[in-house]
Structure 1
Amino acid sequence: MAAQEALRWRYGDVDDGNFALRGRGVPVLAALLLVLICFVAVCLYLRWACHRYYTPRYLASSSSSSTSAAAGGLDDATIAGFPVTVFRPGGTGSAEECCPICLGEFADGDKVKAMPQCGHGFHPECVDPWLRARASCPLCRASLLPAMANTKSDIVGSEAV
């Protein structure tokens, strides 16, 4: 019977003194709260900093050539300087008869823009946005920066003659 009475308690029997913090309890809890606040502040700062300084290239404005060049792409004058030819079917049925970007087949009379370094061909409307964002061939990733320097030197050389 004594065991049953030990398990019974009344609401008025609970003393608030049992929940008091004594000794090192208050400074430890204050320190933990401060650490938690600092951790949340650092996390919020890092989230803000990452979103502020990370701007995807496809969201950057490509209307000005300086923005495109700064983002790693080519300017509009250089892109317009790449050779554009009219497609004539060879009848081989090879992969060179389709645009690797849109996967559409080249039709007789379609314009095809060829990359100067590797010779891969694309529809101009497919490859131009890529070249504004990146200075490489979309298919083989060959750098077009040397081609840009050669193209400019050829233009300057032809104007001087």
Structure 2
Amino acid sequence: DVFGKVKDGTFVGDNLATALQRKTGTGAVIDGGIRDFQGIMKLDIVIFCRGVHPTAITDTTLVWINIPVRIGEATVLPGDVVLGTPTGVIFIPPHLVEEVVEKSEEIRLRDRFGKQRLREGRYTPGQIDSKWTEEIERDFKNWLKEIKAKGR
């Protein structure tokens, strides 16, 4: 946690990113900046950060490792699962991971169904983007059976 500092807050460059790749094989979330962006892009590692700046890090001291930290508006605890996408990062407590995965899969399928039915002209955006009627829920359940039967 570099408290969102980008200029003079570049916690990771391509050397540390290379070490992270070798040690973790995963990546990092930096509430601050990175430098050496072109070198980092060549690595098989994912780094989420606040920005890129050529300056070196200054006025920062590493105090602890594996303690609760604040990243933006989230409190992150050791052991939390990190899910990052191009639109952002979330932190999931380990005891909630299964529930979050199941719910997100349901939402993904509902979105896929809704888009398909909108393309087909079967429902209006107002119907899809509000609480579904019993008819739409039945249609969704039938659609789910169809795609599972097709293995998609």
Identify the TM-score tier after normalising by the shorter chain.
under 0.3
Give 1 or 2: higher strand fraction. Answer: 2
> TM-score scaled by structure 2?
0.23
> TM-score scaled by structure 1?
0.22
Question: Which one has the largest radius of gyration?
Answer: 1
Give 1 or 2: higher helix fraction. Answer: 1
